[in-house]
Structure 1
Amino acid sequence: MRCPHCSSTVTTKRSDRTAHGYHRFLCRECGRGFNERTGSVLNRLQVPSDIVFLVVLWRLWFKLSLRDLAEILLLPGLVSSHEAVRDWEAKLVPLLTDTLRQCRSGACRTNGSAHRMQA
């Protein structure tokens, strides 16, 4: 994996993981540690990425209110405010729309596989 700090490809995968289960890496050139989310818009979130994407998609598909989504997150025990849901939406909706526009124009298919959003 490429180091987000110095762009080096000389990295080592560490044996431990973050609290959310993301792999940790160590750059051999700059000596800095990072994980799979470092340098992305989801870097400092206290909630796993898959749940954040699911909540944002529910907001877009089902037109749920911010407070309703915050209450739904309480069911599995995730404490979050409606302001956090709004921040997630503000960060992820532009990325989602850009990726969807690329797919509609046919630019997202490379070598027969779908384009992955970098988040």
Structure 2
Amino acid sequence: MSRVTVWHDGNCPLCRREIAIMRRLDRRGRIDFIDATGAESCPIDRTDLLARFHAMEDGRLLSGAAAFAAMWRAIPLLRPFGLLARHKPVIDLMEHAYLRFLKVRPRLQRWFGRQEVRP
């Protein structure tokens, strides 16, 4: 099984929580998680990289639902969902849901930001 690289927004409280969960599930260490806000080099423009979820699988840069599916394929527990997403109707439905999520993401980020425990 190949390694997957995932770029995430380390300044986003919602993203930090999700990545923390994925790190715990990645028991075999097959995913390289990179905070795109502090990465020295990015595969594309940093603004574009932070606007959508991105992952690299088998040398291909993926974004949105396809990037989530790549990450899931690297985690045994989630692998069946990642494999299911290889079917066009499934990935199309997932991408549609992801685009809807992006519209509410700013509100969710603010809400999750307020929920974080501050020292």
TM-score range, shorter-chain basis?
A: under 0.3
| TM-score where L is the length of structure 2 | 0.26
Query: RCO higher in 1 or 2 (8 Å CA, sep ≥ 6)?
Result: 2
* Larger Rg, first or second structure (1 or 2): 1
| TM-score where L is the length of structure 1 | 0.26
